[in-house]
Structure 1
């Protein structure tokens, strides 16, 4: 009887120790979430917090959300708070000012950052010099124009195409990048011009495009202007297909897009995400739009990388680089600079109701 009692006591002690170890392991995994939770960008920050929170709940890990206020001071303060809390990795950040102030502080603490919204190219381009531990789960600032140039140069190789822009920095950069890529491919547009935006009609521009013989036109500008061009081209029986960037993904205006209008943009994540995850958002009355799903995916990547680093004994930065991570929005892989190894921009076509992807996700 005494032996049995001793054995039970030993087993009880061992079980308690196992529970303590499991609890300790769980407690050691803490993911920081940096987002603007106050001010004019709070609606976007709340999306990040909601998506990260739902992923943490599904993964059985803890998060610590901190308001970075979308400012340099807020970013620095958030970084210090994360260090005090002993987080393993930070996800989020939507503003350049905040992340630029936070990264040097987090670097010194050896805490990597997975940003879901900052597109500033220099953050990763300067990585060899700064040593900042940043990983970008989203496009770079130059991804859109580079993908536009690559895809349309391939798609319109045998077409008479034109390039126009609205004179803004955005429009000019898009148009010039495409023109330069076409020139390198020994292609020349039949018409290049700058149009006046926000007019009730673009009959004059469309007339000149028709006279030049253009059948395909890239327009660096807003969706409303491109919709008007498509309408006027139909009225003139010009036989022109228009294309634009992600500015076309806006709420419908007074003039609908012409059927066949092309758009280069990132996917609507809710349309390509794991249906079970989308259902989980619905069960919590969370709309899976904006940054909710990218934030969910960032937590999934963080958890998988932490597990990989622990099992292999390698630094977390190495575990994050050059590995495929299965997430709710597809496979994520970071290159040596911390950018996505494959741009998320895709080619879409307007079918009369909405834009439909012409590519696999």
Structure 2
């Protein structure tokens, strides 16, 4: 607990220090950020916080009217803590917008509060149910499960020539959304999964499910869930003598996955929203700044929050109104005809709040992600 408080004090202190000395209360855009900074998802939460911190520093160095103040809470991927933190930033801090949560179930648990208080919620969760609640205050800043799984299935079938693909997924909202989306994408391609198996999110032994995958004659496996579980699945499949083409989604596309999986995840194909090697000027500038601050290249999570915070800032700047409604109105107005152009390319949102932007396929080679399809 003491360590967590120290982390939060440091993060919030850094954000406050970046505020211009003369900024008045109405000139400070307060942003709630609820992410796992401890626990299994900490690498993901920290990556997202890094993207927010970088854009906050940039904005606060500009000679603009508005400055950003991040108010950070560690939810440790516990949904009750996500909800408690949400209520605090909405009622006590009066934030203009809130980011969170990283996990789909926790993001889902936050929606009643953000809807009640009419504050935009920007979530990275890809669970299908997130944007099916009838709330006009929820915005998904990741391509949802149907979009990701469709792109991955199409690449696996058309480019990799795979037609016997098994699916192994965690039995939570995230895993089920990804798995069902992938199954639907295969059916659209006139195929069925060779095997379709689930596992409890806390499992570490997947030999039972992998035995069924092996018996199915599958030559490829789409494994989805927390990246630590997917790395274990890859290792256990190799130990069982299985030589499968592994497929993964954005939740697996963290450097930690390649680090944990080692040689057993070499050749894995992942769908991602960001190419750090792009020559586009906005991307090059972002990558250079991120690298200078954090000593490594950014990934999709960092790019998503970087762009989303830029949208919030632009909404307030253009309208001259530092209000949740001004942000909601601006973001919901981003369409194919009038997109926001950021480091991820052209951002559009549908009527339910689902973002749309380009996706890439990468292959893990030598522990690195190498773009193989744009």
> TM-score, with normalisation over the residues of structure 1?
0.65
SS of alignment partner, residue 74 of structure 1: helix
2:347 equivalent in structure 1: 332
SS of alignment partner, residue 73 of structure 1: helix
Which of 111, 126, 137 aligns to 1:100? It is 111
Counterpart CA distance in 2 for 1:121 and 1:193 is 19
Number of corresponding residues: 314
Specify whether residues 286 and 30 from structure 1 end up closer, same or farther in structure 2 by C-alpha distance, changes over 3 A only: farther
Deviation, 1:104, is 3.0
Q: Is the 8 A contact 1:226 1:257 kept in 2?
A: yes
SS of alignment partner, residue 142 of structure 2: coil
1:178 equivalent in structure 2: 182
Specify whether residues 52 and 185 from structure 1 end up closer, same or farther in structure 2 by C-alpha distance, changes over 3 A only: same
Question: Unaligned stretches of 5+ in structure 2?
Answer: 1-20, 76-81
Specify whether residues 103 and 218 from structure 1 end up closer, same or farther in structure 2 by C-alpha distance, changes over 3 A only: closer
Alignment of 1:11-26 (within 5 A): none
Alignment of 1:254-273 (within 5 A): 255-257=262-264, 260-267=267-274
Counterpart CA distance in 2 for 1:114 and 1:188 is 36
Alignment of 1:150-169 (within 5 A): 150-155=154-159, 159-165=162-168, 168=171
Counterpart CA distance in 1 for 2:117 and 2:58 is 23
Q: Is the 8 A contact 1:50 1:292 kept in 2?
A: no
Larger Rg: 1
SS of alignment partner, residue 305 of structure 1: helix
> TM-score, with normalisation over the residues of structure 2?
0.64
Alignment of 1:1-361 (within 5 A): 28-36=26-34, 40=38, 44=46, 46-47=49-50, 49-59=52-62, 60=64, 61-68=66-73, 70=75, 71-83=82-94, 89-94=96-101, 95-96=106-107, 99-100=110-111, 102-107=113-118, 111=119, 113=120, 115-127=122-134, 130=135, 132-140=136-144, 143-155=147-159, 159-165=162-168, 168=171, 174-188=178-192, 191-192=194-195, 194=197, 198=205, 208=215, 212=217, 215-219=219-223, 222-227=230-235, 229=237, 241-245=245-249, 246-247=251-252, 249=254, 250-253=257-260, 255-257=262-264, 260-267=267-274, 274-284=283-293, 289=298, 292-309=302-319, 316-320=327-331, 321=333, 322=335, 323-342=338-357, 345-360=359-374
